Copies of this chain bind each other. A is one copy, B any other.
């Protein structure tokens, strides 16, 4: 039953079997790592948050409305375990949704990950978190909006119901609300059955100032052989004439009371993306190597260690999580950590 460790019985309803489906759950993760990071010649030792999973606290629940219909809500807030800070702009910035689901699928309203982001996480063995996150080398190419590979406000999303023989899918739109840059939409379709998982996503977000859209197209495939789960992912980010192509090959290997993970990513920028323009800081090619081992003390608690490095080329200034800012393009950024993750 995953992270739903605290299922509080819901009182005050009229009783009966259906009521047993209703619950409210307080959940969270506290994850802290001791970290050594380096960019070029600048080194730093630090205690950081969210080395394996993002530290968070949340409350979520579902209510069985009968006839297969369910209502649900989800509030989730990031915790910066090193300083005790929360997201000061959007306290519930990880998720704030209300939803209705049934035979027709699920409709959700609120702030949430786009379905495009959900696709990307499935094919990054570091799930866009910590030193190994492939998110470190994703660029919005000067569009000013990375919701295509992140989260969006004002989201209305629809997901297909289960029971489609492994096929699944979802679509979402976020209202622009008069400011062009908030407007976006994304769509995802996939197939997950037994050991095989394939999925594709497309997302676009408006940029009124430049009268163009940031577009992300991505496909991924993974196969679980039992002794290892290799995975391949390809993404293309476009904005105006700029383009970034990101190819990730990774493998997850069960090892002892845990798992070993390795991922290699090759990101290429086209000439337009490498060229400075008004309001645009150029990027460049980059390669990301990430190795990690997770040792599970229990289902809820794990020790882990990670090593990662980004080889930047040209103007590229990509950084592993928590690394010092790059003083110039083309510098190597690397990190090593040891941490503990506890979920509740």
Known: A26-B24, A155-B47, A175-B47. A298 touches B92 (CB 8 A): no
- Of B9, B156, B297, the contact of A65 (CB 8 Å cutoff): B297
Residues from chain B with Cβ under 8 Å of A97 in the complex: 30, 32, 81
CA distance A300 to B11 in the complex (A): 12
Chain A positions 80 through 122: 1 when the CB is less than 8 Å from some CB of chain B, otherwise 0: 1111111011111111111010000000011100000000000
Contacts of A342 in B (CB 8 A): 63, 71-73, 98
Q: Which of A1-48 contact B (CB under 8 A)?
A: 1-2, 4-13, 24, 26, 28, 30-34, 44-47
A interface residues (Cβ-Cβ under 8 A, vs B): 1-2, 4-13, 24, 26, 28, 30-34, 44-47, 49, 55, 57, 59, 61, 63, 65, 69, 71-73, 75, 79-86, 88-98, 100, 109-111, 153-156, 174-175, 177-178, 297-301, 324, 339-342, 344
| With A154-B46, A298-B65, A301-B65 as contacts: A75 and B57 at CB distance below 8 Å | yes
**Are the C-beta atoms of A71 and B109 separated by less than 8 Å?**
no
Q: For the complex, what is the distance from the CA of A195 to the CA of B52, rounded to whole Å?
A: 45
Count the copies.
3
Question: Judging by beta carbons under 8 Å apart, are A30 and B177 in contact?
Answer: no
In the complex formed, the residue of B with least CB distance to A43 is: B178
A-B contacts, 26 listed (Cβ < 8 Å)? A1-B11, A4-B12, A7-B11, A8-B8, A13-B299, A28-B59, A30-B75, A34-B109, A44-B177, A46-B154, A47-B153, A47-B156, A57-B59, A63-B301, A63-B344, A71-B297, A72-B342, A73-B342, A81-B110, A81-B111, A83-B90, A83-B153, A84-B91, A84-B96, A86-B92, A98-B341
